[in-house]
Amino acid sequence: MEAAQKFVLQYAQVCVVSLGARGCVARHRDGTVGRAPAGGVKVVDTIGAGDNFSSGFLYAHLMGCSLQQCAAVGCQAGSEAVKVKGSILSEAAWQGLRARVDELMAGAAQPLPASGAAAVQEQQQQQHAAVGGVDACVLTAA
């Protein structure tokens, strides 16, 4: 897995491999590594887990978190998804996830802009232009 990540890092700044129930390993081109275990929850359904993981990881990444924090947020989001049937989380589940994500990101990230998706998209475009290419690559090897 490390060799595959190093290959991908020739083309991206960050490469993360999700490992399902075993968590994830993220590497930055500069050699920084972040690892996080999965949530250790009872799996009901895996639909949406990968999407939630990727969303959580990339959200933390775009908010300026360390790779370790990104990995932890991704795993927390993915773990939340497997606790329910289907891919729809209840409002209470979303609120609980947001509180846990805020704790994991404490001290390193800025809050999500109040203007929502449009502001996040603009920030993504600015960061993408700043690094001149691909910011992150998410691979799944469950």
pLDDT digits (tens, 9 = 90+) for 104-135: 998 775 555 544 455 555 655 555 554 444 45
pLDDT above 80: residue 50: yes
Q: What's the CA gap between 82 and 139, in Å, rounded?
A: 18
The model's pTM: 0.77
3-state secondary structure the chain: CHHHHHHHCCCEEEEEEECHHHCEEEEECCCCEEEECCCCCCCCCCCCHHHHHHHHHHHHHHCCCCHHHHHHHHHHHHHHHHCCCCCCCCHHHHHHHHHHHHHHHCCCCCCCCCCCHHHHHHHHHHHHHHHCCEEEEEEECC
The residues pairing with 26 across neighbouring beta strands, listed in sequence order, are: 16, 34
pLDDT score of 79 = 95
pLDDT score of 53 = 94
Q: What's the CA gap between 126 and 121, in Å, rounded?
A: 9
